[in-house]
Amino acid sequence: MNALVATNRNFKLAARLLGLDSKLENSLLIPFREIKVECTIPKDDGTLASFVGFRIQHDNARGPMKGGIRYHPEVDPDEVNALAQLMTWKTAVANIPYGGAKGGIGCDPGELSISELERLTRVFTQKIHDLIGVHTDVPAPDMGTNPQTMAWILDEYSKFHGYSPAVVTGKPTDLGGSLGRDAATGRGVLFATEALLHEHGKSIAGQGFVVQGFGNVGSWAAQLISENGGKIVAVSDITGAIKNSKGLDIPSLLKHTKENRGVRGFSGGDPIDPNSILTEDCDVLIPAALGGVINRE
Protein backbone atom coordinates (compact mmCIF):
# COMPACT_ATOMS: atom_id res chain seq x y z
CA MET A 1 0.00 0.00 0.00
CA ASN A 2 1.26 3.50 -0.89
CA ALA A 3 2.47 5.47 2.19
CA LEU A 4 -0.14 8.22 1.76
CA VAL A 5 -3.02 5.77 1.30
CA ALA A 6 -1.95 3.93 4.48
CA THR A 7 -1.52 7.15 6.49
CA ASN A 8 -4.90 8.52 5.34
CA ARG A 9 -6.59 5.22 6.18
CA ASN A 10 -5.11 5.20 9.70
CA PHE A 11 -6.09 8.84 10.22
CA LYS A 12 -9.67 8.14 9.12
CA LEU A 13 -9.87 5.21 11.57
CA ALA A 14 -8.60 7.44 14.40
CA ALA A 15 -10.99 10.25 13.37
CA ARG A 16 -13.91 7.84 13.55
CA LEU A 17 -12.85 6.63 17.01
CA LEU A 18 -12.58 10.26 18.16
CA GLY A 19 -15.98 11.10 16.64
CA LEU A 20 -14.37 13.91 14.59
CA ASP A 21 -16.67 16.03 12.42
CA SER A 22 -16.40 14.78 8.82
CA LYS A 23 -15.70 18.29 7.42
CA LEU A 24 -12.87 18.76 9.92
CA GLU A 25 -11.59 15.28 9.04
CA ASN A 26 -11.48 16.22 5.34
CA SER A 27 -9.77 19.53 6.02
CA LEU A 28 -7.09 17.81 8.12
CA LEU A 29 -6.34 15.42 5.26
CA ILE A 30 -5.48 18.26 2.86
CA PRO A 31 -1.99 19.73 3.37
CA PHE A 32 -1.64 23.44 4.14
CA ARG A 33 0.86 23.87 1.27
CA GLU A 34 2.75 21.63 -1.18
CA ILE A 35 6.01 22.91 -2.64
CA LYS A 36 7.74 21.23 -5.56
CA VAL A 37 10.92 22.73 -6.97
CA GLU A 38 13.44 21.94 -9.68
CA CYS A 39 17.05 21.98 -8.51
CA THR A 40 19.73 21.99 -11.20
CA ILE A 41 23.39 21.99 -10.19
CA PRO A 42 26.71 21.76 -12.01
CA LYS A 43 28.37 18.45 -11.13
CA ASP A 44 32.09 18.30 -10.34
CA ASP A 45 32.81 17.24 -13.94
CA GLY A 46 31.05 20.33 -15.30
CA THR A 47 27.89 18.56 -16.56
CA LEU A 48 24.47 19.59 -15.27
CA ALA A 49 22.24 17.42 -13.09
CA SER A 50 18.60 18.14 -12.24
CA PHE A 51 16.70 16.95 -9.17
CA VAL A 52 13.19 17.47 -7.83
CA GLY A 53 12.80 18.77 -4.28
CA PHE A 54 9.66 18.81 -2.15
CA ARG A 55 8.50 20.48 1.04
CA ILE A 56 5.02 19.56 2.18
CA GLN A 57 3.65 21.75 4.95
CA HIS A 58 0.77 19.81 6.43
CA ASP A 59 -0.64 21.82 9.31
CA ASN A 60 0.29 24.85 11.45
CA ALA A 61 -2.73 25.14 13.74
CA ARG A 62 -0.65 24.30 16.83
CA GLY A 63 2.55 26.20 15.92
CA PRO A 64 5.38 26.41 13.36
CA MET A 65 5.57 23.34 11.16
CA LYS A 66 8.37 20.91 11.93
CA GLY A 67 9.86 17.97 10.09
CA GLY A 68 12.92 16.47 8.47
CA ILE A 69 14.43 16.70 5.01
CA ARG A 70 15.23 13.40 3.32
CA TYR A 71 17.69 12.72 0.49
CA HIS A 72 16.86 9.36 -1.07
CA PRO A 73 16.25 8.00 -4.59
CA GLU A 74 12.72 6.89 -3.61
CA VAL A 75 11.51 10.30 -2.37
CA ASP A 76 8.15 11.04 -3.99
CA PRO A 77 5.38 13.53 -3.25
CA ASP A 78 3.00 10.94 -1.78
CA GLU A 79 5.61 9.66 0.64
CA VAL A 80 6.63 13.19 1.72
CA ASN A 81 2.93 14.05 2.09
CA ALA A 82 2.37 11.06 4.37
CA LEU A 83 5.45 11.85 6.47
CA ALA A 84 4.38 15.53 6.80
CA GLN A 85 0.93 14.46 8.01
CA LEU A 86 2.49 12.04 10.51
CA MET A 87 4.62 14.91 11.89
CA THR A 88 1.40 16.86 12.63
CA TRP A 89 0.00 13.92 14.60
CA LYS A 90 3.33 13.26 16.35
CA THR A 91 3.78 16.85 17.62
CA ALA A 92 0.10 16.93 18.68
CA VAL A 93 0.21 13.59 20.50
CA ALA A 94 3.43 14.64 22.28
CA ASN A 95 1.64 17.95 23.06
CA ILE A 96 4.43 20.22 21.84
CA PRO A 97 3.47 23.51 20.14
CA TYR A 98 4.43 22.62 16.58
CA GLY A 99 2.70 21.57 13.40
CA GLY A 100 3.92 19.08 10.81
CA ALA A 101 5.96 19.26 7.61
CA LYS A 102 8.41 17.11 5.69
CA GLY A 103 10.73 17.60 2.75
CA GLY A 104 13.00 15.70 0.48
CA ILE A 105 15.00 15.58 -2.69
CA GLY A 106 14.92 12.59 -5.04
CA CYS A 107 18.64 11.84 -5.21
CA ASP A 108 21.17 9.25 -4.12
CA PRO A 109 23.45 11.07 -1.66
CA GLY A 110 25.98 8.21 -1.88
CA GLU A 111 26.51 9.05 -5.57
CA LEU A 112 27.13 12.76 -5.00
CA SER A 113 30.37 14.34 -3.78
CA ILE A 114 30.36 16.62 -0.72
CA SER A 115 30.57 19.72 -2.93
CA GLU A 116 27.71 18.47 -5.15
CA LEU A 117 25.59 17.85 -2.03
CA GLU A 118 26.41 21.35 -0.81
CA ARG A 119 25.39 22.91 -4.15
CA LEU A 120 22.16 20.88 -4.23
CA THR A 121 21.26 21.85 -0.65
CA ARG A 122 21.96 25.52 -1.30
CA VAL A 123 19.88 25.56 -4.53
CA PHE A 124 17.00 23.80 -2.73
CA THR A 125 17.21 26.38 0.09
CA GLN A 126 17.18 29.25 -2.44
CA LYS A 127 13.95 27.85 -3.88
CA ILE A 128 12.12 27.42 -0.56
CA HIS A 129 13.69 30.11 1.70
CA ASP A 130 10.67 32.42 1.61
CA LEU A 131 8.33 29.61 2.69
CA ILE A 132 10.31 28.29 5.67
CA GLY A 133 11.37 30.20 8.79
CA VAL A 134 11.72 30.24 12.57
CA HIS A 135 8.01 30.94 13.09
CA THR A 136 6.75 29.18 9.94
CA ASP A 137 8.49 25.89 9.20
CA VAL A 138 11.67 24.53 10.78
CA PRO A 139 13.45 21.67 8.92
CA ALA A 140 15.62 18.98 10.54
CA PRO A 141 17.82 16.05 9.41
CA ASP A 142 16.28 12.81 8.17
CA MET A 143 17.45 9.92 6.04
CA GLY A 144 20.43 10.92 3.87
CA THR A 145 20.90 14.31 5.57
CA ASN A 146 22.89 15.28 8.66
CA PRO A 147 24.14 18.25 10.74
CA GLN A 148 26.32 19.38 7.79
CA THR A 149 23.22 19.58 5.55
CA MET A 150 21.49 21.70 8.21
CA ALA A 151 24.55 24.00 8.39
CA TRP A 152 24.32 24.63 4.61
CA ILE A 153 20.58 25.39 4.89
CA LEU A 154 21.20 27.74 7.84
CA ASP A 155 23.96 29.57 5.94
CA GLU A 156 22.00 29.89 2.69
CA TYR A 157 18.79 30.96 4.47
CA SER A 158 20.76 33.55 6.48
CA LYS A 159 21.98 35.21 3.25
CA PHE A 160 18.36 36.17 2.54
CA HIS A 161 17.01 36.78 6.04
CA GLY A 162 20.00 37.63 8.27
CA TYR A 163 21.63 35.24 10.73
CA SER A 164 18.89 32.75 11.68
CA PRO A 165 20.28 29.71 13.52
CA ALA A 166 16.77 28.68 14.67
CA VAL A 167 15.62 28.03 11.08
CA VAL A 168 16.82 24.43 11.40
CA THR A 169 17.29 21.96 14.23
CA GLY A 170 19.88 19.18 14.17
CA LYS A 171 22.66 21.61 13.18
CA PRO A 172 26.24 21.26 14.50
CA THR A 173 26.66 22.40 18.13
CA ASP A 174 29.24 25.00 16.96
CA LEU A 175 26.39 26.74 15.12
CA GLY A 176 23.99 26.61 18.07
CA GLY A 177 22.78 23.01 17.78
CA SER A 178 21.62 21.17 20.90
CA LEU A 179 23.89 18.78 22.75
CA GLY A 180 22.56 15.23 22.46
CA ARG A 181 20.57 15.87 19.24
CA ASP A 182 22.67 13.43 17.24
CA ALA A 183 21.72 10.55 19.54
CA ALA A 184 18.21 11.81 20.35
CA THR A 185 16.13 9.75 17.90
CA GLY A 186 18.07 6.53 18.64
CA ARG A 187 17.67 7.27 22.37
CA GLY A 188 13.93 7.65 21.75
CA VAL A 189 13.97 4.17 20.20
CA LEU A 190 15.70 2.88 23.35
CA PHE A 191 13.09 4.52 25.65
CA ALA A 192 10.14 3.29 23.56
CA THR A 193 11.58 -0.25 23.46
CA GLU A 194 12.20 -0.19 27.21
CA ALA A 195 8.59 0.90 27.83
CA LEU A 196 7.19 -1.78 25.51
CA LEU A 197 9.30 -4.54 27.08
CA HIS A 198 8.32 -3.29 30.55
CA GLU A 199 4.63 -3.85 29.65
CA HIS A 200 5.56 -7.50 29.01
CA GLY A 201 7.52 -7.80 32.28
CA LYS A 202 10.86 -7.76 30.43
CA SER A 203 13.88 -5.47 30.14
CA ILE A 204 16.47 -4.69 27.46
CA ALA A 205 19.14 -6.87 29.09
CA GLY A 206 19.25 -10.37 27.69
CA GLN A 207 16.95 -9.74 24.71
CA GLY A 208 18.08 -10.29 21.10
CA PHE A 209 17.65 -7.35 18.68
CA VAL A 210 17.72 -7.05 14.89
CA VAL A 211 18.27 -3.56 13.44
CA GLN A 212 17.48 -2.64 9.83
CA GLY A 213 19.40 0.53 8.87
CA PHE A 214 22.66 1.52 10.52
CA GLY A 215 22.66 5.29 9.97
CA ASN A 216 21.95 7.96 12.58
CA VAL A 217 18.92 6.28 14.18
CA GLY A 218 19.87 2.60 13.80
CA SER A 219 23.49 2.97 14.92
CA TRP A 220 22.62 5.05 17.99
CA ALA A 221 19.77 2.68 18.92
CA ALA A 222 22.13 -0.31 18.55
CA GLN A 223 24.84 1.40 20.61
CA LEU A 224 22.49 2.41 23.45
CA ILE A 225 20.70 -0.95 23.50
CA SER A 226 24.00 -2.78 23.62
CA GLU A 227 25.24 -0.48 26.46
CA ASN A 228 22.05 -1.46 28.33
CA GLY A 229 22.78 -5.18 28.04
CA GLY A 230 20.81 -5.98 24.88
CA LYS A 231 22.32 -8.32 22.29
CA ILE A 232 22.35 -7.01 18.70
CA VAL A 233 22.24 -10.23 16.67
CA ALA A 234 21.88 -8.83 13.12
CA VAL A 235 22.22 -5.48 11.38
CA SER A 236 21.67 -4.36 7.78
CA ASP A 237 22.20 -1.24 5.73
CA ILE A 238 22.22 -0.39 2.03
CA THR A 239 25.59 -2.15 1.59
CA GLY A 240 24.61 -5.53 3.09
CA ALA A 241 23.68 -7.42 6.24
CA ILE A 242 25.61 -9.25 8.98
CA LYS A 243 24.67 -11.61 11.74
CA ASN A 244 26.27 -12.93 14.92
CA SER A 245 23.93 -14.88 17.19
CA LYS A 246 26.35 -14.33 20.10
CA GLY A 247 25.92 -10.57 19.64
CA LEU A 248 27.74 -8.09 17.36
CA ASP A 249 30.44 -5.91 18.90
CA ILE A 250 28.81 -2.52 18.22
CA PRO A 251 31.84 -0.21 18.86
CA SER A 252 33.90 -2.27 16.34
CA LEU A 253 30.99 -2.29 13.88
CA LEU A 254 30.68 1.51 14.18
CA LYS A 255 34.40 1.89 13.44
CA HIS A 256 34.14 -0.49 10.47
CA THR A 257 31.07 1.36 9.12
CA LYS A 258 32.82 4.73 9.35
CA GLU A 259 35.92 3.47 7.56
CA ASN A 260 34.07 1.44 4.89
CA ARG A 261 30.86 3.50 4.43
CA GLY A 262 28.71 0.52 5.41
CA VAL A 263 28.43 -2.71 7.41
CA ARG A 264 29.47 -4.95 4.50
CA GLY A 265 32.71 -6.83 5.10
CA PHE A 266 32.59 -6.60 8.93
CA SER A 267 34.70 -9.46 10.24
CA GLY A 268 32.85 -9.80 13.57
CA GLY A 269 29.83 -11.49 11.96
CA ASP A 270 28.66 -13.61 9.03
CA PRO A 271 27.20 -11.99 5.91
CA ILE A 272 23.49 -12.75 5.32
CA ASP A 273 20.98 -11.86 2.61
CA PRO A 274 19.80 -8.27 3.38
CA ASN A 275 16.29 -9.28 2.23
CA SER A 276 16.07 -11.74 5.14
CA ILE A 277 16.80 -9.15 7.86
CA LEU A 278 13.13 -8.58 8.72
CA THR A 279 12.54 -12.29 9.32
CA GLU A 280 15.71 -13.05 11.29
CA ASP A 281 15.08 -14.70 14.65
CA CYS A 282 15.00 -12.08 17.45
CA ASP A 283 12.98 -10.75 20.39
CA VAL A 284 12.77 -7.18 19.07
CA LEU A 285 12.98 -5.96 15.46
CA ILE A 286 13.93 -2.31 14.95
CA PRO A 287 13.20 -0.98 11.44
CA ALA A 288 15.42 2.15 11.18
CA ALA A 289 15.71 2.61 7.41
CA LEU A 290 12.67 3.30 5.22
CA GLY A 291 9.07 3.30 6.46
CA GLY A 292 6.37 0.88 5.35
CA VAL A 293 8.63 -2.18 5.50
CA ILE A 294 6.31 -4.14 7.78
CA ASN A 295 3.39 -5.17 5.63
CA ARG A 296 1.36 -8.23 4.58
CA GLU A 297 4.04 -9.48 2.18
Ligand X SMILES: NC(=O)c1ccc[n+]([C@@H]2O[C@H](COP(=O)([O-])OP(=O)(O)OC[C@H]3O[C@@H](n4cnc5c(N)ncnc54)[C@H](O)[C@@H]3O)[C@@H](O)[C@H]2O)c1
User: Annotated catalytic sites, by residue?
Assistant: 102
From residue 65, how far is each of 54, 143, 257 by CA, in Å? 15, 19, 34
d(CA 244, CA 282): 12
31, 100, 139, 144: which one binds ligand X (CB under 6 A)? 144
Burial status of residue 183 (CB atoms within 10 A of its CB: 0-12, 13-18, 19 or more):
middle
59, 79, 142, 156: which one binds ligand X (CB under 6 A)? 142
d(CA 244, CA 233): 5
Q: Does 139 bind ligand X (CB under 6 A)?
A: no
205-244 mask for ligand X (x: CB under 6 A)?
-------xxxxxxx-----------------xxx------
64-103 mask for ligand X (x: CB under 6 A)?
----x-----------------------------------
**Of residues 159 and 289, the one with the C-beta less far from ligand X:** 289
**Of residues 161 and 261, the one with the C-beta less far from ligand X:** 261
Q: Which residue of the chain is nearest ligand X when measured via CB? A: 215
Burial status of residue 45 (CB atoms within 10 A of its CB: 0-12, 13-18, 19 or more):
exposed
* Closest CB 159 distance from ligand X, rounded Å: 26
Q: By three-state DSSP, how is residue 229 classified?
A: coil
- Give helix 3-18 / helix 22-29 axis angle, nearest 10°: 150
**Residue ranges in 171-210 that form contacts with ligand X under rule CB under 6 A:** 185
**Of residues 53 and 141, the one with the C-beta less far from ligand X:** 141
CA angle 154, 219, 267 (to 5 degrees): 130
Count the residues of the shown chain that bind ligand X, applying the rule CB under 6 A. Answer: 21
Q: Rounded to 5 degrees, what are φ and ψ at 22? A: -65, -30
Window contacting ligand X (CB under 6 A); options: 14-22, 56-64, 139-147, 223-231: 139-147
* Closest CB 71 distance from ligand X, rounded Å: 8
Q: Rounded to 5 degrees, what are φ and ψ at 280? A: -65, 145
Q: Does 280 bind ligand X (CB under 6 A)?
A: no
Which residues here bind ligand X, judged by CB under 6 A? 68, 141-144, 185, 212-218, 236-238, 274, 288-291
